[in-house]
Amino acid sequence: MTTTFDQSKDQIKDAAQRQMQSVLRMPDWSIRERLVLTCRILFDGGHDSGLPGQITARGDKAGTFYTQQLGIGFGETTGENVLLIDEDLRVLEGSGMPNPANRFHSWLYRKRPDVNCIVHTHALHAATLSMLGVPLIVSQMDATVLFDDCAFLKEWPGVPVGNEEGEIISEAIGNKRAILLAHHGMLVACASVEEACVISLAFERAAKMQLLASAAGTIREIPEDLGREAHDWLLGRKRVEATFAHYARRILKNDPRCLD
């Protein structure tokens, strides 16, 4: 006998969320391991542009965060390439040096206590879109993780290695999870490494879809209430973790030693 065909959409969604909480399990990866996996996932997802781009995650001690070593690309990052640094970019654990552009991450972490992971890349389609002087348009369900959650910095402040750029970018993103940086690339600032990874992938795909759709015709907007509903549904914690784990399994299948 069926018991759900007379239930409302909200009832069905609530039941699905509860089931996800009890059924879906996340491997017990450390922060370092999640950063390595994210670097590899983003490399496979079109975020490679050589050495530009950084990923950071808060450390256990206030004013510290983990990041990848300068000179190591996303596609070759391993556990030994992850550094623990402070706000002044001094290395506390590991060898080598961080990307000097990590300075603007320090500004963003200070301004946004809700943020635990930042990803900045020059992914091809996001960087291409950044050249047009238009914001990211969210008009397809998969992209709704960014619905009303992506800011736009209209003017390029230059190479982001000074404090000025940190102030500008941290102010421009406001309370949103993402921002398109004019003549530059994309940035996401999220509550977890998994969320930052998933949204970064969605950002690049959304930028690609926008470029393709704009070339074919006029992009139609989606209703605001449906966009917000999809945004909140797709960003449920367990769903995000399951998505991250899916991509991580693909990485580990191809390179099971990357976390060593």
Mean pLDDT (whole number) for 28-37: 96
Residue 170 token pair: 């941290």
Taken in order 78, 145, 51, 69, the sign of the CA dihedral is negative
Number of H helices, E strands in the chain: 8, 8
- What is the tally of structural domains in the chain? 1
Residue 37 resides in a domain: yes
Q: What is the largest CA-CA distance in the chain?
A: 65
- Predicted structure pTM score: 0.95
Residue 119 resides in a domain: yes
Residue 20 resides in a domain: no
Mean pLDDT (whole number) for 61-81: 95
Tens-place pLDDT, residues 155-211: 988 887 778 888 999 999 999 999 999 999 999 999 999 999 999 999 999 999 999
Residue 103 resides in a domain: yes
Domain that holds residue 169: 28-252
CATH code of 53's domain: 3.40.225.10
Residue 23 resides in a domain: no
Report yes or no: 187 and 112 within 8 Å, Cβ to Cβ: no
Mean pLDDT (whole number) for 103-125: 96
Residue 41 resides in a domain: yes
Residue 49 resides in a domain: yes
Residue 76 resides in a domain: yes
26 Cβ partners below 8 Å, 6+ apart? 194, 241, 242, 244, 245
